[in-house]
Amino acid sequence: MWSVSGRVVAGMLVACALALTPAPAFAQGPREQYTKALARERELRDGERPPTARQIREVVAAYEGVVRRYPTSGYSDNALWQASELSRLAWDRFGEESDKRTGVRLLRQLEAGYPASSLISGVDQAVANFDTTKAIRRTNGEVSRDMVYATGIASSTAITALISARRRVSECGRWALMAAYRSDSRCHARCGSA
């Protein structure tokens, strides 16, 4: 049978044991959760095999978890941006409309919820990049000079997406991309564009 002093000692031992136990994963701060999601994204992008739609969406959900749990954190705007870029990657690779809707929603959430973010200036172009992917898909991946000027895809993000997706770019399309990206009149003259 326990005496009163024995119960107090036992209670103190339990309290000490709980205090020394490491915090569970769900008690991580915004930096740790964001860094963990970023590491998962890098694993997907650098992996030997292309990621599946499910794998990409899991990382998008991890970024959204940072924003949901820590909406006032300095990591939240970055998490929204990273998640939207991953959604664009999924949209580009798998063509599922839900990925496009998610990406655009995340960009609009970034725009509305974090107006002072340094990432705001790229939101409109990032939204346009979702439409660019659709335009490229309609042409079996061929990027022409007219498409460059009609869709305004000559951003560094769009060019990187074209290269990483191994899209075919016609000779004039290549010159048009360079012209639009560099604002170089020699490139415009090469294919007779304005």
**Predicted confidence (pLDDT) per residue in 100-127, tens digit:** 999 999 999 999 999 999 999 999 988 8
Q: What is the rounded CA–CA span in Å between residue 20 and residue 81? A: 37
Residue at 167 is within a domain: yes
65 has pLDDT over 70: yes
Last residue of a domain, one of 98, 127, 156: 127
Last residue of a domain, one of 127, 147, 162: 127
Residue at 9 is within a domain: no
Residue at 35 is within a domain: yes
Which percentage of the chain shows pLDDT scores above 90? 41
Domain that holds residue 164: 139-194
Quick one: 104 and 53 in the same domain?
Answer: yes
Mean pLDDT of the chain: 74
Instruction: Indicate the number of domains in the chain.
Output: 2
pLDDT at 192: 46
Characterize 112-142 residue by residue with b for buried, 16 or more Cβ atoms within 10 angstroms of its Cβ, and e for exposed. Answer: eebeebebeebbebbbebbebbeebeeeeee
